[in-house]
Amino acid sequence: MLLSLEGATVRFGGRTVLDAVDLDVAEHETVCVLGPSGSGKSTLLRAVAGLQQLDAGRVVLDGRDQAAVPAHKRGVGLMFQDHQLFPQRDVGGNVAFGLRMHGTSRDGQAARVGELLDLVGLPGARDRAVASLSGGEQQRVALARALAPRPRLLMLDEPLGQLDRSLRERLVVELRHLFGELGTTVLAVTHDQGEAFALADRVVVMRDGRIAQSGTPLEVWQRPADAFVARFLGFDNVVEAVVGGTAADTPWGEVPVPEGSAQGPGTLLVRPAGVRLVAAADGLRCTVAARTFRGTHVAVQLQPEGAPRLEAACALREAPEPGATVGVRFDAAETVVLGAPSAQPAVKGPAPGAD
Amino acid sequence: MKAGGPERTAGPGGPGGRDRAGRAPRRARGQDAARFALMALPVAFFAVFFAYPVAAIVSRGLHGDGGWQLGRIWDVATRSDIRHVLWFTTWQALASTALTLLVALPGAYVFARFDFRGKQVLRAVVTVPFVLPTVVVGTAFLALVGRGGLLDELWGVRLDTTVWAILLAHVFFNYAVVVRTVGGLWSQLDPRQEEAARMLGASRLAAWRRVTLPALGPAVAAAALMVFLFTFTSFGVVQILGGPTFSTLEVEIYRQTSEIFDLTTAAVLTIVQFVAVGAILAVHAATVRRRETALRLVAPDTTARRPRGAGQWALLGGVLVSIAVLLVLPLAVLVQRSFDAPGLGYYRALADDDGGVFLVAPIEAVGNSLEYALAATAIAVLIGGLAAAALTRRAGRLMRGFDALLMLPLGVSAVTVGFGFLIALDEPPLDLRASWILVPLAQALVGVPFVVRTMLPVLRAVDGRLREAAAVLGASPWRVWREVDLPMVRRALLIAAGFAFAVSLGEFGATVFIARPDNPTLPVAVARLLGRAGDLNYGQAMALSTILMVVCAVALLLLERVRTDRTGEF
Give the pLDDT band (50/70/90) at residue B65: low
**Percent of chain B predicted with pLDDT > 90:** 3
Size of interface A-B (CB pairs under 8 A): 139
Are B466 and A86 inside 8 Å of each other by CB? yes
Give chain B positions within 8 Å (CB) of A13.
Answer: none
- Interior/surface letters A28-39, b for 16+ CB within 10 angstroms, e for the rest: ebbbbbbbeeeb
Q: Compute the average pLDDT of residues A299-327.
A: 89
- CATH 3.40.50.800 for domain A3-222, yes or no, is no
- Letter for the amino acid at A325? T
- Letter for the amino acid at B503? V
The answer to whether B270 touches B412, Cβ cutoff 8 Å, is yes
Residues B351 and B214 reside in one and the same domain? no
Instruction: List pLDDT tens digits, range A262-296.
Output: 888 889 999 998 999 888 888 889 999 999 888 88
Residues B402 and B481 reside in one and the same domain? yes
Measure in Å the smallest separation between the Cα of B570 and chain A Cα atoms. 11
Q: How far is CA A88 from CA B95, B299, B443, B480, B486, in A?
A: 41, 9, 33, 14, 11
Cα–Cα distance measured from residue B406 to residue B453, given in angstroms and rounded to the nearest whole number: 9
B322 in helix, strand or coil? Answer: helix
Q: Compute the average pLDDT of residues A239-267.
A: 88
Cα–Cα distance measured from residue B391 to residue A97, given in angstroms and rounded to the nearest whole number: 26
Q: Give the closest residue to B172 by CA, choosing from B557, B549, B513.
A: B549
Q: Compute the average pLDDT of residues B33-48.
A: 80
Cα–Cα distance measured from residue B367 to residue B365, given in angstroms and rounded to the nearest whole number: 6
Query: DSSP assignment, residue A50?
Result: T
Instruction: List pLDDT tens digits, range A31-67.
Output: 999 998 888 888 999 899 888 888 999 999 998 998 8
CA atoms within 13 A on the CB side of B179: 27
Residues in a beta bridge with A255: A248
Instruction: Give a yes or no: residue B2 inside a domain.
Output: no
Q: Give the closest residue to B453 by CA, choosing from B202, B230, B152, B168.
A: B230
Residue of chain B nearest A72, judged by CA positions: B474
Query: DSSP assignment, residue B376?
Result: H
Q: How far is CA B295 from CA A135, B110, B191, B469, in A?
A: 21, 21, 12, 18
Cα–Cα distance measured from residue B19 to residue B25, given in angstroms and rounded to the nearest whole number: 14
- Quick one: how far is CA B393 from the chain centroid? 24
CB atoms within 10 A of CB B71: 9
Which residue of B21, B466, B477 is in closest CB contact with A84? B466
The answer to whether B257 touches B266, Cβ cutoff 8 Å, is yes
Residues B356 and B497 reside in one and the same domain? yes
Cα–Cα distance measured from residue B62 to residue B69, given in angstroms and rounded to the nearest whole number: 5
Are B479 and A102 inside 8 Å of each other by CB? no
Are B471 and A68 inside 8 Å of each other by CB? no
Are A53 and B24 inside 8 Å of each other by CB? yes
Give the pLDDT band (50/70/90) at residue A9: very high
pLDDT of residue A155: 92
Total domains in chain B come to 2
pLDDT of residue A327: 92
Cα–Cα distance measured from residue A234 to residue A269, given in angstroms and rounded to the nearest whole number: 11
- B490 Cβ partners below 8 Å, 6+ apart? none
Query: DSSP assignment, residue A281?
Result: G
Instruction: List pLDDT tens digits, range B138-164.
Output: 778 877 876 666 777 778 777 777 788
pLDDT of residue B429: 67
pLDDT of residue B296: 61
Give the pLDDT band (50/70/90) at residue B123: confident
Which residue of A52, A70, A108 is in closest CB contact with B1? A108
Are B472 and A51 inside 8 Å of each other by CB? yes
Give chain B positions within 8 Å (CB) of A112.
Answer: 1
Residues in a beta bridge with A284: A328
Cα–Cα distance measured from residue A258 to residue A333, given in angstroms and rounded to the nearest whole number: 6
Cα–Cα distance measured from residue B220 to residue B215, given in angstroms and rounded to the nearest whole number: 9
Which residue of B19, B26, B476 is in closest CB contact with A72? B476
Residues B194 and B268 reside in one and the same domain? yes
Which residue of B26, B465, B569 is in closest CB contact with A80? B465
Residues B369 and B233 reside in one and the same domain? no
Q: At what angle do helices A135-147 and A91-101 cross, to 10 degrees?
A: 20
Residue B193 phi, psi dihedral angles, 5° rounding: -60, -45
Instruction: List pLDDT tens digits, range B514-568.
Output: 877 777 888 888 878 777 777 777 788 888 888 887 877 777 667 666 554 433 2
Instruction: List pLDDT tens digits, range A61-85.
Output: 998 998 888 888 888 988 888 888 8
- Letter for the amino acid at B163? V
Give chain B positions within 8 Å (CB) of A82.
Answer: 465
The more confidently predicted of residues A299 and B456 is A299
Residue of chain B nearest A48, judged by CA positions: B472
Residues B388 and B288 reside in one and the same domain? no
- CATH 2.40.50.140 positions along chain A are 227-338
Instruction: Give a yes or no: residue B446 inside a domain.
Output: yes
The answer to whether B521 touches B440, Cβ cutoff 8 Å, is no
Cα–Cα distance measured from residue A233 to residue A217, given in angstroms and rounded to the nearest whole number: 11
The answer to whether A78 touches A157, Cβ cutoff 8 Å, is yes
The more confidently predicted of residues B533 and B228 is B228
Cα–Cα distance measured from residue B514 to residue B419, given in angstroms and rounded to the nearest whole number: 7
Residues B402 and B539 reside in one and the same domain? yes
B373 in helix, strand or coil? Answer: helix
Are B473 and A62 inside 8 Å of each other by CB? no
Give the pLDDT band (50/70/90) at residue B32: low
Chain B contact probe: residue of A17, A69, A73, A116 with most B CBs at under 10 A: A73
Residue of chain A nearest B471, judged by CA positions: A72
Measure in Å the smallest separation between the Cα of A172 and chain B Cα atoms. 23
Q: Give the closest residue to B142 by CA, choosing from B545, B547, B556.
A: B545
Measure in Å the smallest separation between the Cα of A91 and chain B Cα atoms. 14
Measure in Å the smallest separation between the Cα of A52 and chain B Cα atoms. 6
Instruction: State whether the Cα torsion B282-B287-B288-B289 is positive or negative.
Output: positive
- The interface predicted TM-score (ipTM) is 0.77
Radius of gyration of chain B (CA): 25
* Domain span holding position B234: 72-113+132-310
Residues B374 and B485 reside in one and the same domain? yes
Sequence-ordered alpha helix ranges (H) in B200-259: 204-207, 213-232, 236-241, 249-254
Measure in Å the smallest separation between the Cα of B485 and chain A Cα atoms. 10
- B139 Cβ partners below 8 Å, 6+ apart? B240, B334, B530, B541, B542, B545
For chain A, the residue count is: 355
What is the per-residue DSSP string for B111-175? HHHB--TTHHHHHHHHHHHHHS-HHHHHHHHHHHHSTTSHHHHHH----TTSHHHHHHHHHHHHH
Q: At what angle do helices B213-232 and B263-291 cross, to 10 degrees?
A: 180
pLDDT at B244 over 90: no
- B376 Cβ partners below 8 Å, 6+ apart? B439, B440, B441, B443, B444, B447, B500, B501, B504
Angle at B63 between CA B61 and CA B69, to 5 degrees: 95
Cα–Cα distance measured from residue A352 to residue B164, given in angstroms and rounded to the nearest whole number: 84
The answer to whether B146 touches B158, Cβ cutoff 8 Å, is yes
Q: What is the mean pLDDT of chain A?
A: 86
pLDDT of residue B435: 75
Instruction: List pLDDT tens digits, range B71-108.
Output: 777 777 777 778 888 888 888 999 999 999 999 888 88
Q: Compute the average pLDDT of residues B10-38.
A: 46
Q: Compute the average pLDDT of residues B333-345.
A: 79
- CATH 3.40.50.300 positions along chain A are 3-222
Residues B346 and B457 reside in one and the same domain? yes
Residues B244 and B345 reside in one and the same domain? no
pLDDT of residue B28: 46
Residues B351 and B290 reside in one and the same domain? no
Q: Compute the average pLDDT of residues A108-128.
A: 90
In SS3 terms, B283-345 reads as: HHHHHHHHHCCCCCECCHHHCCECCCHHHHHHHHHHHHHHHHHHHHHHHHHHHHHHCCCHHHH
Q: How far is CA A6 from CA A70, A190, B153, in A?
A: 18, 22, 87
For chain B, the residue count is: 570
Are B472 and A108 inside 8 Å of each other by CB? no
Q: Compute the average pLDDT of residues B156-181.
A: 82
Cα–Cα distance measured from residue B321 to residue B340, given in angstroms and rounded to the nearest whole number: 26
CATH superfamily entry for domain A227-338 = Nucleic acid-binding proteins (2.40.50.140)
Q: Give the closest residue to B334 by CA, choosing from B173, B113, B141, B564.
A: B141
The answer to whether B219 touches B177, Cβ cutoff 8 Å, is no
pLDDT of residue B24: 39
Query: DSSP assignment, residue A316?
Result: G
Residues in a beta bridge with A266: A241
- Letter for the amino acid at A274? G
Helix (H) or strand (E) holding B424: helix B414-424
Residues B376 and B278 reside in one and the same domain? no
Cα–Cα distance measured from residue A172 to residue B504, given in angstroms and rounded to the nearest whole number: 59
Q: How far is CA B474 from CA A5, B244, B480, in A?
A: 22, 65, 9
CATH number at residue B285: 1.10.3720.10
Cα–Cα distance measured from residue B447 to residue B538, given in angstroms and rounded to the nearest whole number: 29
pLDDT of residue B72: 72
Instruction: Give a yes or no: residue B47 inside a domain.
Output: no
Give chain A positions within 8 Å (CB) of B471.
Answer: 50-51, 70-72
Chain A contact probe: residue of B23, B467, B472 with most A CBs at under 10 A: B472
Helix (H) or strand (E) holding B29: helix B25-46
- Letter for the amino acid at A100? R
- B154 Cβ partners below 8 Å, 6+ apart? none
Angle at B165 between CA B230 and CA B444, to 5 degrees: 25
Query: DSSP assignment, residue A186?
Result: E
pLDDT at A349 over 50: no
